[in-house]
Structure 1
Amino acid sequence: MLALVLGTSWLVGCGAEEEPFADYCAEVQEQQEPLSEALAGDGATALLAALPSFEALAAASPPDIADEWRTLLDAVGALRTALEEAGVDPASYDRADPPPGLAQADRDRIDAAARGLTRPATIAALAGVQQQARDVCKTPLSL
């Protein structure tokens, strides 16, 4: 009888543990197409276009990858903020030929935020969330 109770407790516990992954995996599948479309763009512009999907995935993510999502969201969000505060359109911004009248301080903030996307921590975070989707959900983040 004790073995039956312990076995049942284990099954209930196991189901409770899987639920966060089920919700997350459903979100991975839902965001796969929008992410694929967004990431088909170039560089930082693609990451900015992917930000809404990243935010949805981060909100649904299990605790074991919350730090990776936070790192990625912070980096992409910093670039979005720098561009918005400078009044610059991300799709047309050219660092080598910035818009006339763009202050050097704004250029410096945009450059710093863009460098943040290539930091080892940001690259590792992106790799981590991609690996999590493949390992746990058996689904890549993009097609």
Structure 2
Amino acid sequence: MRPVRTAARTAAAALLTAALGGVAGCGEDDPAAAYCGLVEEHQAELTDIVGGGGPDALLGALGIFRELQDQAPRDLADEWQQVVGRVAALDEALRAAGLDPAAYDREQPPAGLTDAERARVDAAARELVAPATTAAVGGLEQQARDVCGTPLVL
């Protein structure tokens, strides 16, 4: 089993679904229209980046997630902070260890990877799929249903 890859794929699917779910139902008079518009603007790009399901998909979408976080309604600040924070923590752990996220295999780590670096990457991957992050994704999904009027199917 490859926890970093599995965790990234699970989180990627949930985040893409949450982000894409916010598109429909956002009207011009809706206070979340700018946020919904931004989600719509990035829909195809997010589909390409995250939909590919590669181990580095979430990391490739981090810039878009940050932009969505910046435009999100205040009631989503905590959820986006959790999600962006966990993806960024994994990115930082991988970078600090000098690892290529697309090529990293936990079962066969590259020569020179220290136990501390491996532990940091593993911890970041676990946090990405932890209950707090899952709950944050659920909050984003709820917002998509309630504010943008779009039910999500996970």
TM above 0.5, one fold?
yes
Q: Tell me whether 1:97 sits opposite 2:108 in the alignment.
A: yes
Cα-to-partner distance string for 1:8-41 (whole Å, 9 max, x where unaligned): xxxxxxxxx943x111111111121111112223
Gaps of 5+ in 1: 1-16
Question: For residue 5 of structure 1, what is the aligned residue in structure 2?
Answer: none
Q: Tell me whether 1:107 sits opposite 2:118 in the alignment.
A: yes
* Structure 1 residue 136: Cα displacement: 1.9
Distance 1:36 1:93 in 2: 23
Q: Tell me whether 1:31 sits opposite 2:57 in the alignment.
A: no
Distance 1:41 1:80 in 2: 18
- Equivalent of 2:98 in 47, 65, 87: 87
Q: Which moved more, 1:38-47 or 1:95-104?
A: 38-47
Query: 1:127 is paired with a residue of what secondary structure?
Result: helix
* Structure 1 residue 43: Cα displacement: 6.3
Q: Which amino acid aligns with 2:115?
A: Q
Trace 1:27-66 onto structure 2 (pairs within 5 A): 27-42=38-53, 44-66=55-77
* Structure 1 residue 132: Cα displacement: 1.7
* Structure 1 residue 134: Cα displacement: 3.9
Q: Which has the higher contact order (CA 8 A, sep 6+)?
A: 2
Distance 2:135 2:106 in 1: 25
* Structure 1 residue 138: Cα displacement: 4.0
- Name the Cα RMSD after superposition: 2.0
Query: 1:87 is paired with a residue of what secondary structure?
Result: coil
Q: Tell me whether 1:124 sits opposite 2:135 in the alignment.
A: yes
Query: 1:101 is paired with a residue of what secondary structure?
Result: coil
> Per residue, is there more helix in 1 or in 2?
1
Q: Which moved more, 1:131-140 or 1:87-96?
A: 131-140
Computing the radius of gyration over CA atoms, which structure comes out larger, 1 or 2?
1
Gaps of 5+ in 2: 1-28
Equivalenced residue count is 124
